[in-house]
């Protein structure tokens, strides 16, 4: 590096850009070719004092351009494409199970990594009371088999349930309560298209305190709003 370049660098001035370097490399190689004794067919002996022929200059410039563009192409090509699985997944579902299990509901999943996602779901059931439930779970995808992706699930949430109490002059009544509950299970997603799919989920729930233990199996249709 010349003293001038060092001084410019110390003053915070950036070195020449890629195009300037390519032009300088081409000029340097052209000058080197002009001063080197090349075969007679490559140097003109005319009045221009041994200029590099057009064909050779084009070759030199092409090599310089390809050399300069290769790192940029490699850097661009190394960027991973966004996978469809990285989009939001919504699942409305219907289910059956033990008495305290929800009968309809919906779940929405957001992926944290290509195989790990967080899902929020809400469910509803009617019976002795009209009860709601809400859970947040982590879902881990197992290796895919064709269009089928099995997964494991575990989470925590809140559930409404009823307990029977005796009231004087009224008899037995159902009192609505709210409990913290944990869940664990798994299921499978089957991809029908990039946007649509079907899903089956089996889950065990256990409420803390006097909340009942129960199980649920649901089937749902999945879709990804961000994909057409």
Token pair of 4 as six digits:
């001038």
Say which residues have a Cβ less than 8 Å from residue 62's Cβ, sequence separation at least 6: none
Count, residues in the chain: 228
Q: What is the predicted pLDDT for the residue at 17?
A: 56
**220 φ, ψ to 5°?**
-150, 165
Could you report the per-residue pLDDT of 136-188, keeping only the tens digit for each?
Answer: 999 999 999 999 999 999 999 999 988 877 777 767 777 888 999 999 999 99
Could you report the per-residue pLDDT of 93-136, keeping only the tens digit for each?
Answer: 999 999 889 999 999 999 999 999 999 999 999 887 899 999 99
Could you give all domains of the chain from N- to C-terminal order, each with its CATH number? 3-77 (no CATH), 84-223 (2.40.160.20)
Q: How far apart are CA 177 and CA 160, in angstroms?
A: 6
Could you report the per-residue pLDDT of 27-43, keeping only the tens digit for each?
Answer: 544 554 444 444 444 44
Q: What is the predicted pLDDT for the residue at 23?
A: 61
Beta strand 104-111 pairing with 116-125 = antiparallel
Q: What is the average pLDDT score of the chain?
A: 75
Could you report the per-residue pLDDT of 39-65, keeping only the tens digit for each?
Answer: 444 444 444 444 444 444 444 444 444
Token pair of 105 as six digits:
């509901």
Cβ proximity of 220 and 198 under 8 Å: yes
pLDDT confidence bin for 11, thresholds 50/70/90: low
Could you report the per-residue pLDDT of 188-227, keeping only the tens digit for each?
Answer: 999 999 899 999 999 999 988 888 899 999 999 999 987 7
Say which residues have a Cβ less than 8 Å from residue 100's Cβ, sequence separation at least 6: 125, 131, 159, 161, 205, 211, 212, 214
| Residue-by-residue DSSP string for the chain | --HHHHHHHHTTPPPP-HHHHHHHHHHHHHHHHHHS---TTTS--STTSSPPPHHHHHHHHHHHHHHHHHHHHHHHHTSPPPPGGGS-EEEEEEEEESTTS-SEEEEEEEESSSSEEEEEEEEEE-SSS-EEEEEEEEEEEPPPBTTEEEEEEEEEEEEEEEEEEEETTTEEEEEEEEEEEEEEEEEEEEESSSSEEEEEEEEEEEESTTPPEEEEEEEEEEE-TT--
| Residue-by-residue DSSP string for 168-184 | TTTEEEEEEEEEEEEEE
Q: What is the mean pLDDT of residues 17-21?
A: 55
**139 φ, ψ to 5°?**
-120, 130
Query: Which of 224, 220, 172 is closest to 198 using CA atoms?
Result: 220
Q: What is the predicted pLDDT for the residue at 164?
A: 75
């Amino acid at each position: 590096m010349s003293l001038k370049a060092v001084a410019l660098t110390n003053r915070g001035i950036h070195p020449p850009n890629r195009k300037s370097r390519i032009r300088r490399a081409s000029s340097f190689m052209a000058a080197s070719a002009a001063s080197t004794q090349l075969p007679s067919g490559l140097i003109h002996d005319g009045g221009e004092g041994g200029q590099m022929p057009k064909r050779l200059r084009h070759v030199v410039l092409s090599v310089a351009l390809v050399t300069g563009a290769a790192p940029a192409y490699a850097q661009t090509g190394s960027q991973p494409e966004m996978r469809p699985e990285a989009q939001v997944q919504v699942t409305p579902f219907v289910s059956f199970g033990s008495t305290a299990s929800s009968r309809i509901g919906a779940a929405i999943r957001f992926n944290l990594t290509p195989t790990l996602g967080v899902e929020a779901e809400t469910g509803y059931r009617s019976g002795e009371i009209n009860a709601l439930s809400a859970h947040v779970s982590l879902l881990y995808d197992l290796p895919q088999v064709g269009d089928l992706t099995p997964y494991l699930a575990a989470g925590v949430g809140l559930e409404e349930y009823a307990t029977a109490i005796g009231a004087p002059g009224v008899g037995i009544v159902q009192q609505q309560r709210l409990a913290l509950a944990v869940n664990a299970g798994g299921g499978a997603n089957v991809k029908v298209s990039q946007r649509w799919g079907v899903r089956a989920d089996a889950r065990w729930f256990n409420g803390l305190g006097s909340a009942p233990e129960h199980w649920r199996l649901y089937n749902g249709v999945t879709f990804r709003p961000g994909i057409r």
